[in-house]
Structure 1
Amino acid sequence: MLMNNALFRTSQQRRARAVYDSVASRRPVVGILCAEMVALAVFALAAAAFIGLRAWFALPN
């Protein structure tokens, strides 16, 4: 029985495909984590701006 070259996979190719498929299936989770990190960065910048404005307004003329 002859194997078609398009269907034949080495063990390394099968492992690479398994790793890629596991990463691809987790892609929505990665997007959610990125969105959370962006929201946290925006919140941190807003807090820093608020603290900076309070300090600036507290300075004497």
Structure 2
Amino acid sequence: MYCKHCYHDGKFTDSEITFHNVKTRGLAIIYQLNTSVIKKHFMQLFYPGVLKRPTRWRKIK
């Protein structure tokens, strides 16, 4: 499963994006969320691990 920022209408929005760039973009989106500081902290902490679950990023270390 991919987020709406990365996957739309059955294809990746940027097929050439690197894992590092996706991670950076995702962390920035989390930072901008209208939620508590503690919730943001945990989301940012666990985001890289969750990001590696899709097939596209599984080989990244």
Q: Same fold per TM (> 0.5)?
A: no
Larger strand proportion of the pair: 2
Larger helix proportion of the pair: 1
Query: Which structure has the bigger radius of gyration?
Result: 1
- Per the normalisation by structure 1, the TM-score is 0.30
- Per the normalisation by structure 2, the TM-score is 0.30
